[in-house]
Structure 1
Amino acid sequence: MEGEPTAELIRAQLRRLRLRAELSQEEFGKLVHFSGSQVSAVELGQRPLDRFFLKRADEVLATGGLLMSLLKLAERDGQPSWFRPWLEAERHARQLRCYQPTLIPGLLQTENYARAVIRVNDELSDDEVERRLAVRMDRQSILVHAEAPKLVAVIEESVLRRADEGFRGLMTQQVAHLLECSESPHISVHVIPVEVSNHIGLNGPFTLARGNDGGWVGHLENQLGGVVVDRDEDVAILLARWESVRSEALPHRQSTLLMKEVMTSWS
């Protein structure tokens, strides 16, 4: 991300705002709890952009959240090219339909659950884990907008029950979050019970987004990333598979009762 144009803009804006406030790097550093040399390293691009630093900078310089907003744009710029079209479709969706056979869908993950899932990739540094986590949490902001999309998520019961003793506290928090989300009028969470041993969805996760124009676009996840699906015939297949998967899931009330039963079984 550090070489992206938006990241360069953040550093330029930071320096401009600091100088306008008539603060030296040392003076500014004391206010944001960083040393003057660290401030210099950030402005010169020798130190990664730090969320805590930029949040404090916004507060000290009274920017109205400008630097953090630019950071979110920079993080989006840093996403793989194959993922950017999907992010755009997701942000402007009026409806979202998501099936996940192995994980809680990203838009419904708690911060702790998401961090644990991302950290499974031991090739990622701690900084990269936190960067990816921040992007995932930012994506969830679409669900709290005034014009939030209608989200229908279907998950497997086995996903809820995958919790050893060390993971159980985290999963209790995660299932409680699912229950809270499902109380929102625009979010529905449905569970496919373990008794349904075989169905078309087990071929892999997918998400569908419907835009303002009524058109649908899909997203398929795999080990190397993902694929955006926009050919009419391919989208039609995903829509048909969605109907099949959705028909295997429990209704809203029964899904809620099952999630509560899972939590009770751990206590």
Structure 2
Amino acid sequence: MEGEPTAELIRAQLRRLRMNAELSQEEFGKLVHFSGSQVSAVELGQRPLDRFFLKRADEVLGTGGLLTSLLKLAERDGQPSWFRPWLETERQAQQLRCYQPSLVPGLLQTENYARAIIRTDAMLGDDEVEKRLAVRMDRQSILTQPNLTTFVAVMDELVLRRADESFRGLMSQQIAHLIECVERSKVSVHIVPAEVSLHVGLAGPFSLARGSDGGWVGYLENQLGGAVIDKEDDLAVLLSRWESVRSEALPRGRSVDLMKEVMTSWS
């Protein structure tokens, strides 16, 4: 991300704002709890952009959150090219639907759960894990946007019960968060009970987004990336499979009862 145009824009804006405030790098560093040399390294691109640093810079320089907002854009720019179209579709959607057979959907993950999932990829260093985590958490802001009217998530009961002794505290927090999300009028979570041993959704996760024009767009995930689906015939298949999976899931209230039962069973 550090070499991309948006990241360069952040550094240029930081330098301009600091100089307009008539602050040397040393003076500015004291205000944001960094050394003058660290401020210089950030401005020159020799040090990665840091959320805490930019948040403090916004406060000190009175930018109204400009620098942290630009950082979010830079992080989106740093996403793989195959994922960016879906991010844009997701942000503009009026309705969202998501089925996950093995994980809590990203839009409903807690920070701790998301970090644990991202860290399972041994090829990622700590910095990259935190960058991906930041993007995932930022994506969740769409749940409060006025254009989104409904988000319906369906997942298998196995997702809730996949927790050994060391993971149960984190998973309890995650399930409690799911229950809190259901209390929002636009979020609905439905669980496919374990006794439904076979159903069409087990072929893999998928998401659907409906835009303001009434048209649908789909998204399929795999081990190497993902693909946006916009062909009419393919969308018809996904919409049919959604109806099939959704019909196997418990109603909203019974899904919440099952989530509570899972947490109670651990204690």
For normalisation by structure 1, the TM-score amounts to 0.99
**Alignment match, 2:245:** 245
Distance of 1:61 and 1:136 partners within structure 2: 27
Q: Aligned letter for 1:213?
A: D
CA contact (8 A) 1:142 1:149 kept: no
Q: Aligned letter for 1:143?
A: L
CA contact (8 A) 1:76 1:135 kept: yes
SS at match of 1:103: coil
1:138 aligns with 2:138: yes
Q: What is the CA-CA distance between 1:149 and the residue it aligns to?
A: 3.5
Q: What is the CA-CA distance between 1:148 and the residue it aligns to?
A: 2.9
Q: Aligned letter for 1:108?
A: L
Q: What is the CA-CA distance between 1:253 and the residue it aligns to?
A: 1.0
**Alignment match, 1:87:** 87
**Alignment match, 2:230:** 230
Q: Deviations over 1:97-138 (max 9, x none)?
A: 100000000000000000000011111111110100000000
Q: What is the CA-CA distance between 1:145 and the residue it aligns to?
A: 2.0
CA contact (8 A) 1:199 1:245 kept: yes
Q: What is the CA-CA distance between 1:147 and the residue it aligns to?
A: 3.1
**Alignment match, 1:204:** 204
**Alignment match, 1:192:** 192
CA contact (8 A) 1:99 1:205 kept: yes
Distance of 1:3 and 1:213 partners within structure 2: 37
SS at match of 2:166: helix
Distance of 2:232 and 2:148 partners within structure 1: 25
Distance of 2:148 and 2:181 partners within structure 1: 13
SS at match of 2:124: coil
SS at match of 1:209: strand
Q: What is the CA-CA distance between 1:220 and the residue it aligns to?
A: 0.4
**Alignment match, 2:64:** 64
Identity of aligned residues (%): 78
What is the number of equivalent residue pairs in this alignment?
267
Matches within 5 A, 1:105-124: 105-124=105-124
Q: Aligned letter for 1:201?
A: G
Q: Aligned letter for 1:146?
A: P
Distance of 2:147 and 2:83 partners within structure 1: 23
Q: Deviations over 1:128-186 (max 9, x none)?
A: 10100000000000101233331000001010001111110000000000000011111
Distance of 1:165 and 1:175 partners within structure 2: 15
Matches within 5 A, 1:174-189: 174-189=174-189
CA contact (8 A) 1:18 1:61 kept: yes
Distance of 2:147 and 2:174 partners within structure 1: 25
Q: What is the CA-CA distance between 1:225 and the residue it aligns to?
A: 1.0
For normalisation by structure 2, the TM-score amounts to 0.99
Matches within 5 A, 1:30-49: 30-49=30-49
Distance of 1:265 and 1:123 partners within structure 2: 35
Q: What is the CA-CA distance between 1:53 and the residue it aligns to?
A: 0.6
SS at match of 1:246: helix
**Runs of 5+ in structure 1 lacking a partner?**
none
1:55 aligns with 2:55: yes
**Alignment match, 1:156:** 156
Distance of 2:266 and 2:62 partners within structure 1: 46
Distance of 2:107 and 2:141 partners within structure 1: 9
CA contact (8 A) 1:97 1:151 kept: yes
Distance of 2:3 and 2:109 partners within structure 1: 30
Distance of 2:222 and 2:93 partners within structure 1: 22
Distance of 2:146 and 2:233 partners within structure 1: 33
Distance of 1:48 and 1:167 partners within structure 2: 32
Cα RMSD for the two superposed structures:
0.7
Distance of 1:37 and 1:58 partners within structure 2: 19
Q: Deviations over 1:206-237 (max 9, x none)?
A: 00000000000000000001111111110110
Q: Aligned letter for 2:26?
A: E
SS at match of 2:39: helix
Distance of 2:245 and 2:10 partners within structure 1: 44
